[in-house]
């Protein structure tokens, strides 16, 4: 879990120092605006990584898939952990990064196996675009019907 440090006093002190160095008795309202902009610049410049990570963690509950960690024996008594994205039914989608791209970029929220014998999800539905997508490691394309998407996924696999 990311622990965010409060920046209120530190950012305000930094902004006040800059404003006092620049001010020469000008309009208070204008300098308050400048101070706010400097606080925002300070925050964004030094803490943007924490903000991005916090937003990512908040969105985890919205994902249409879950991430599982599987321990794999890599030989010589060593074990590595592999993260994988799976559906609620346990069907394999791919890496968390690949699944996130399918979800965020294409709007796919329903991941399915192409056939009952398939081991990897290569067909999915995007309600936002009202399209069925078929994909493989080579290509992705949207169609009006699931059958067309499955046929495409088979052709590019």
φ and ψ of 117, to 5 deg: -90, -10
Domain membership of residue 1 (yes or no) is: no
Q: Do residues 112 and 53 share a domain?
A: no
Does 3 reside within a domain?
Answer: no
Q: Are residues 83 and 121 in the same domain?
A: yes
Please provide residue 72's backbone torsions phi and psi, each rounded to the nearest 5 degrees.
Answer: -125, 135
45 lies in some domain: yes
- 17: tokens are 């120092």
Q: Are residue 84 and residue 20 in the same domain, yes or no?
A: no
Whole-prediction pTM value? 0.61
Q: Are 38 and 50 in contact (CB under 8 A)?
A: no
Q: Does any domain span residue 104?
A: yes
The reply to whether 75 and 39 lie within a common domain is no
Classify 36 as helix, strand or coil. helix
Burial category of 9 from C-beta neighbours within 10 Å (exposed 0-12, middle 13-18, buried 19 and up): exposed
116-130 pLDDT tens trace: 999 999 999 999 999
Residue 132 domain boundaries? 66-156
Q: Mind listing the pLDDT tens digit for each residue in 72-108?
A: 898 888 889 999 999 999 999 999 999 999 999 999 9
Higher model confidence: residue 67 or residue 23? 67
d(CA 100, CA 117): 24
Residues 49, 83 within the same domain = no
Retrieve residue 42's tokens: 């300070």
Residues 73 and 134 in one domain: yes
**Where on the phi/psi map is residue 144: left (φ > 0), alpha (ψ -120 to 50), or beta?**
alpha
Say whether both 149 and 72 belong to one domain.
yes
| Domains in the chain, number | 2
Among 61, 88, 103, give the residue marking a domain's end.
61
Note whether 97 and 57 are same-domain residues.
no
């Amino acid at each position: 879990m990311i622990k965010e440090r409060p920046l209120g006093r530190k950012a305000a002190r930094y902004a006040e120092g800059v404003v006092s160095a620049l001010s020469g008795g000008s309009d208070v309202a204008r300098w308050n605006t400048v101070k706010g902009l400097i606080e925002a610049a300070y925050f964004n410049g030094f803490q943007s990584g924490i903000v991005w990570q916090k937003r990512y963690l908040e969105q985890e509950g919205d994902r249409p898939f879950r991430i599982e960690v599987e321990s794999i024996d890599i030989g010589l008594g060593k074990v590595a952990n592999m993260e994988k994205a799976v559906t609620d039914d346990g069907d394999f989608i791919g890496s968390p990064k690949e699944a996130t791209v399918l979800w965020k970029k294409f709007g796919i929220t329903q991941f399915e196996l192409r056939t009952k014998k398939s081991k990897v999800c290569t067909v999915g539905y995007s309600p936002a675009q009202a399209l069925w997508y078929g994909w493989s490691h080579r290509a992705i394309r949207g169609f009006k019907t699931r059958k067309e998407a499955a046929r495409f996924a088979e052709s590019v696999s």
